[in-house]
Structure 1
Amino acid sequence: MPPRKKQQTSTTDLDFRAVLWQSADKLRNNMDAAEYKHVVLGLIFLKYVSDAFEEHHNLLVEKQSEGYDPEDRDEYTSEGVFWVPAEARWSHLQANAKNPNIGTIIDDAMDLIEKENARLKGVLPKIFARPDLDKTRLGELVDLIGTIGLGDKESRKQDILGRVYEYFLSKFASAEGRLGGEFFTPQPIVRLLVNMLAPYRGRVYDPACGSGGMFVQSEKFVEEHGGRLGDISVYGQESNPTTWRLAQMNLAIRGIEGNLGQRAADTFHSDLHPDLKADYILANPPFNISDWGGEKLKDDVRWKYGTPPAGNANYAWIQHMIHHLAPTGTAGFVLANGSMSSNQSGEGDIRKNLIEADLVECIVALPGQLFFTTQIPVCLWFVTRNKKRKGETLFIDARKLGEMETRVLRVLTDGDIKRISDTYHAWKGITPHGETAPEPYQDVPGFCKSANLTEIQGHGYVLTPGRYVGAEEVEDDDEPFEDKMRHLTAQLKAQFEESAQLEQVIRENLKGLGYGF
């Protein structure tokens, strides 16, 4: 009799990250954070591909009478579903969760999946048979992850692996000694970048690709707007080996063909795509990194607009991306707010040169508290060699947008993303489909402003949107000035009287305590 399936809880009904934290706790006593993160993420990968496979498998079982074969590999790959061999499926792993050899069984499952997908060769973690990994706890971990449903359609709309990585990084940062600079890009920011750049077809590049979220969202955008998987070519690079593997896994799950290089490598010192000229660049490079080895790259060909300071890589990232832009390409990327105004170590001169070269198309100031792992306020830069409005830059101040999802985390809503991206497309005069924008662009006090070079020069080449958009217009209530002053002064008088009463109460209380004055 086959083992009874455990009840799964959908990610839409459960904060699965809390369950994963419980999972990590199972191994905390005999593995450090850096190691058990690999274990849990490897199992999540297996669970994800297995759930998606099982969902399609069940559909084929229902259609067997129509000639469909649930064990025909082509039935899955033709639908973009990851083919999972029988001994790598979660049902097989969970049936063996109490087996003393569960570690070997999981490693074998990883091997089987790598053999089915050459791109994943050497990527998946095969560390589960290690003698120091408690097999009883590993079995409990398999059972626990088995309660999380990752294969339903609603869950697959989300970048599950990326969200898991983001959460784990925030939890493990202190245990691993990581500094804030390496983190997953929140999905609303990725969606905003993608909606503004509208990458329909061509080469998409991310020089700090993390877990691959930019590519996943780009493919979703293409499909949602009538395109096909494969209309864009994906190129990326990532220096952290763990994250590079995660990106490979993330793309493989979704059937996205991508060139992330043959290994993890430092983008500045080992550019794996030296000849690439991209149509779109989307990136969230690590903020303000000071140990990027800039002193070894002082005469680099990429520094056309000035040598970036060795103590901060922000302007190295900007110029690296410009270097890799095609003649009609556009880059959109996240940077710390300091990049808009810093004059330290020659950064102001580089920014001036970029502006004078008419490369800066748009700057968006974002609200705070958007990231899990850092409270650094950020902005979006858009640079291009092919401006639609020569000599002008669009400034958008979106700091008041967003809603608090938790006490410490803010998210941009669908409406916020639409408002910002619609403003950008109206300013350019074209929709993402390449059609004439339906509404002409207009400056909105307090939100957006199209500024020319003279205005930017007048602000000392500072690009902070708040300097340009002005104050938000206050709606006139049509109350006559004399009437308004009369009731305002009456209100002020009442507040003064209340203040005097409070002062007297405080004095008497202090006197009662022996501190009168």
Structure 2
Amino acid sequence: MSTDIKSLGSFVWSIAELLRGDFKQSEYGKVILPFIVLRRLDCILDETKSAVLDMASSLPADMDDEARDTLLAGVVGQNIRLYNLSRFTFATLKGQDAKDIHKNLIEYVTKFSPNVRDIFLDKFLFTDQLKRLNDAGLLFQVFDRFTQIDLHLNKVSNIEMGYLFEDLIRRFSEISNETAGEHYTPREVIRLIVSLLLVNDKEALTGSGVIRQIYDPAAGTGGMLSIAEMEMKELNERIRVELFGQELNPESFAICKSDMLVTGHNPENIAFGNTLTQDAHAGKRFHYMLSNPPYGVDWKKYADPIKDEAAELGMQGRFGAGLPRISDGQLLFLQHMISKMRNDEQGTRIGIVMNGSPLFTGGAGSGESEIRRWMLENDWVEAIIALPTDLFYNTGIQTYVWLLTNRKDPARRGKVQLIDASGERFWKPMRKSLGSKRREIPQDATDEIARIYHDMLNGNSDWADVSKIFDTTDFGYREIRVERPLKLRVEWSEGGKEALLEAKPFQKLDEGSQAKALTLVQSLLSGGHWMNADSFAKAMDDLFKKSGLKFGAPVKKAILNAFTERDEEAETCTDKKGNPEADTTLRDHELVPLGEDWKDYVAREVTPFVPDAWVDESYTDTQDGKVGRVGYEINFNRYFYQYVPPRPLEEIDAELKTLEAEIAGLLKEVVA
């Protein structure tokens, strides 16, 4: 961010201070952001104002609205798709009587072209804020301060406007405890993602007649889209870039749509609403997709339509691969993006920023694991890059860039590249922190990460601890269920008697039956304990029959539960078919690498240590029906872990003695 933009941001922030007392801090943005957009549009339309009004007066009253809009926007030129038919500008409004400012501003705003009126009236709800300002006697003061800002295109570029919006949103979010990260992504992170998406496509993007479509399902203020376009234009100024997006937050949507209007893009390509439940671009396919969806945000309140789509459409819909846990919807966004991949020769490339959860959360058979399985078995995942911590304005957690494509180069097929770009060589500290953002990725580090990815470095020389390439199957495993036999010792105890008397099946018996059953059980156990629970159960059953007692299975089970204890020295219990009965408390699960036969694994890793264990072969995978459930996880720490030996004890001891001496000295000073 340039010094000028920082200064401009500080000046705008000072305007927000005028609102103190009459507005809550959380409401500052609802006033300042639309005023910034309004001032920007006023500056852009300033030079052509008279020409637009002249054209409007010459057009027939019964002219088609669409044709009228096209002609009037054409007068503005520069591919700007908007106009204003009010007689006012900020300059002329300032010259009017201050008491008329509310009425005149309303006229000014409502005389914009329909695509801009929608932004101010429906999304910013700007007329409500103007009324509140007017009622508080602040409207003219705030307006007057905004007239002092020069936002003409030759003074502030669209990229710089993006920086300004981000700086203001961050500040407003901090004072109101909102999540700034849901609105935008730091620009150097976006540049890294775009560099990774384009580094292998430079040749395909050159020449004339090239058209590319870019999509962001969580567009925010449009930063990702605008930077992606800018980077493409630098590669080929003749390229035609079409931008598409959808955004749920009304203020962010309004900013993004106004940016599209100013930069000559079709504003209708930016949709308002929930991407996951109301796909505004259903059926569309895109060349490039990039996004930074919210981290750890639950989707409970709109879960029903998502679950319905998954159940009704299955793999023909967006969420057929699986549903992640309700507390985090990141993988829903990724599945949505995959559903919009092009199936032609050009295919699609995806870049998405997520936290660590999608890498490893969820065991075999879970929604997360099944989604990872679907992506890896379809060979869409090309690379995953671990970013430094403390990059984002609202969180310091570890984040990762996932790169996916359905047109892998032959050398990458069946492979996934992991890049650990979290080390000090890839970031530098900021001179002044911005919220939780304390670090940034310099351009030379961005270039280096892109080169590591492009060259497919695989543990080469200086990058042995940074880049590694794996087969997609290396992340998969079969979770097999290992059982151990149930071994029970049966013996009489007063505690067991009390437990039996409290058991519901036993309480249903009359008092006489209860007393007789207890007497018979005690008689069986009077000679000591039984090391074979099956033999005891048979003997008890025979004794009950001889005594005329007819108890159901629940009562007999309650008796066994009351007087049995697990004992490794006891004999194994068996089921009705004579098979060993499993002790569920000793049940374990082993993760067998996909490339290995589970029988060989058990023979090597289980049987030598637990000879009586066996594998439950009824525990099978729902997709291939084989023994064990297939799971996938990507654990960066496992692949990039570096052992750091502890300090020598002598060094630690010496440090402790030094600290003790310092503490003793401080205590003496206190006493003195």
Instruction: Tell me which interval the TM-score lies in, with the shorter structure as reference length.
Output: 0.7 to 0.9
Could you say which residue in structure 1 is the equivalent of 2:582? none
Using a 3 Å threshold, how does the CA distance of structure 1 residues 373 and 75 change in structure 2: closer, same or farther? same
Q: Greater shift after overlay, 363-372 or 81-90? A: 81-90
Could you say which residue in structure 2 is the equivalent of 1:352? 373
Partner Cα separation in structure 2 for residue 17 and residue 331 of structure 1: 33
Q: How does 1:266-345 map to 2 (within 5 A)?
A: 266-292=274-300, 293-299=302-308, 300=310, 301-327=317-343, 328-343=347-362, 345=366
Could you say which residue in structure 1 is the equivalent of 2:252? 243
Partner Cα separation in structure 2 for residue 36 and residue 507 of structure 1: 53
Q: Deviations over 1:223-244 (max 9, x none)?
A: 2222347x12222111222222
1:13 Cα deviation after fit: 6.4
Q: Verify the 8 A CA contact 1:183 1:373 in the aligned structure 2.
A: no
Q: Verify the 8 A CA contact 2:216 2:224 in the aligned structure 1.
A: yes
Could you say which residue in structure 1 is the equivalent of 2:586? none
Partner Cα separation in structure 1 for residue 298 and residue 451 of structure 2: 36
Partner Cα separation in structure 2 for residue 503 and residue 376 of structure 1: 36
Q: Structure 1, unaligned stretches of length 5 or more?
A: 1-9, 58-71, 428-439, 473-487
Could you say which residue in structure 2 is the equivalent of 1:142? 143
Q: Verify the 8 A CA contact 2:382 2:408 in the aligned structure 1.
A: yes
Partner Cα separation in structure 1 for residue 661 and residue 338 of structure 2: 65
Q: Which amino acid aligns with 1:445?
A: A
Partner Cα separation in structure 2 for residue 92 and residue 446 of structure 1: 63
Using a 3 Å threshold, how does the CA distance of structure 1 residues 281 and 497 change in structure 2: closer, same or farther? closer
Partner Cα separation in structure 1 for residue 78 and residue 141 of structure 2: 35
Using a 3 Å threshold, how does the CA distance of structure 1 residues 499 and 455 change in structure 2: closer, same or farther? same
Report the 3-state secondary structure (helix = DSSP H, G, I; strand = E; otherwise coil) of the residue aligned with 1:393: strand
Percentage identity across paired residues of the two chains: 23
Using a 3 Å threshold, how does the CA distance of structure 1 residues 398 and 498 change in structure 2: closer, same or farther? closer
Using a 3 Å threshold, how does the CA distance of structure 1 residues 185 and 505 change in structure 2: closer, same or farther? closer
Could you say which residue in structure 2 is the equivalent of 1:158? 159
Q: Deviations over 1:68-100 (max 9, x none)?
A: xxxx9757514759766684533234444x611
Are 2:471 and 1:462 equivalent residues in the alignment? no
1:386 Cα deviation after fit: 1.7
Q: Verify the 8 A CA contact 1:166 1:183 in the aligned structure 2.
A: no
1:275 Cα deviation after fit: 0.5
Partner Cα separation in structure 2 for residue 312 and residue 445 of structure 1: 33
Q: Verify the 8 A CA contact 2:355 2:398 in the aligned structure 1.
A: yes
Are 2:441 and 1:402 equivalent residues in the alignment? no
Q: Greater shift after overlay, 306-315 or 87-96? A: 87-96
Q: Deviations over 1:50-85 (max 9, x none)?
A: 33455899xxxxxxxxxxxxxx97575147597666
Q: Which amino acid aligns with 1:213?
A: G
1:131 Cα deviation after fit: 5.8
Partner Cα separation in structure 2 for residue 373 and residue 502 of structure 1: 37
Report the 3-state secondary structure (helix = DSSP H, G, I; strand = E; otherwise coil) of the residue aligned with 2:265: coil
Using a 3 Å threshold, how does the CA distance of structure 1 residues 162 and 240 change in structure 2: closer, same or farther? farther
1:170 Cα deviation after fit: 4.6
Q: Greater shift after overlay, 129-138 or 309-318? A: 129-138
Partner Cα separation in structure 1 for residue 652 and residue 178 of structure 2: 51
Partner Cα separation in structure 2 for residue 159 and residue 283 of structure 1: 20
Are 2:450 and 1:421 equivalent residues in the alignment? yes
Partner Cα separation in structure 1 for residue 150 and residue 641 of structure 2: 48
Q: Deviations over 1:271-296 (max 9, x none)?
A: 11111122111111111221342344
Using a 3 Å threshold, how does the CA distance of structure 1 residues 138 and 412 change in structure 2: closer, same or farther? farther
Using a 3 Å threshold, how does the CA distance of structure 1 residues 87 and 393 change in structure 2: closer, same or farther? farther
Partner Cα separation in structure 1 for residue 458 and residue 47 of structure 2: 46
Partner Cα separation in structure 1 for residue 656 and residue 325 of structure 2: 54
Q: Which amino acid aligns with 1:424?
A: Y
Partner Cα separation in structure 2 for residue 73 and residue 249 of structure 1: 14
Greater gyration radius: 2
Partner Cα separation in structure 2 for residue 156 and residue 277 of structure 1: 30
Partner Cα separation in structure 2 for residue 507 and residue 173 of structure 1: 43
Report the 3-state secondary structure (helix = DSSP H, G, I; strand = E; otherwise coil) of the residue aligned with 2:353: strand
For these two proteins, the number of residue pairs brought into alignment is 456
Output the TM-score relative to the length of structure 2: 0.60
1:159 Cα deviation after fit: 4.4
Q: Greater shift after overlay, 22-31 or 354-363? A: 22-31
Structure 1 vs Structure 2 CA RMSD: 3.7
Are 2:101 and 1:102 equivalent residues in the alignment? yes
Q: Which amino acid aligns with 2:106?
A: D
1:165 Cα deviation after fit: 4.8
Q: How does 1:62-141 map to 2 (within 5 A)?
A: 76-78=76-78, 87-96=87-96, 99-112=98-111, 114-115=112-113, 118-125=114-121, 126-127=126-127, 129-130=130-131, 133-134=134-135, 136-141=137-142
Q: Verify the 8 A CA contact 1:402 1:413 in the aligned structure 2.
A: yes
Partner Cα separation in structure 1 for residue 638 and residue 257 of structure 2: 42
Q: Structure 2, unaligned stretches of length 5 or more?
A: 50-71, 206-210, 311-316, 477-592, 595-630
Q: Verify the 8 A CA contact 1:445 1:471 in the aligned structure 2.
A: no
Q: Deviations over 1:145-180 (max 9, x none)?
A: 3343433646315242464255335524664x7457
Q: Which amino acid aligns with 1:119?
A: N
Q: Which amino acid aligns with 2:32?
A: V
Could you say which residue in structure 1 is the equivalent of 2:261? 252
Using a 3 Å threshold, how does the CA distance of structure 1 residues 163 and 468 change in structure 2: closer, same or farther? farther
Q: Which amino acid aligns with 1:278?
A: F
Could you say which residue in structure 2 is the equivalent of 1:431? none
Partner Cα separation in structure 2 for residue 276 and residue 73 of structure 1: 27
Partner Cα separation in structure 2 for residue 214 and residue 243 of structure 1: 13
Out of 206, 218, 224, the position equivalent to 1:214 is: 224
Q: Greater shift after overlay, 356-365 or 181-190? A: 181-190
Using a 3 Å threshold, how does the CA distance of structure 1 residues 470 and 54 change in structure 2: closer, same or farther? farther
Out of 382, 390, 393, the position equivalent to 2:416 is: 393
1:495 Cα deviation after fit: 9.3
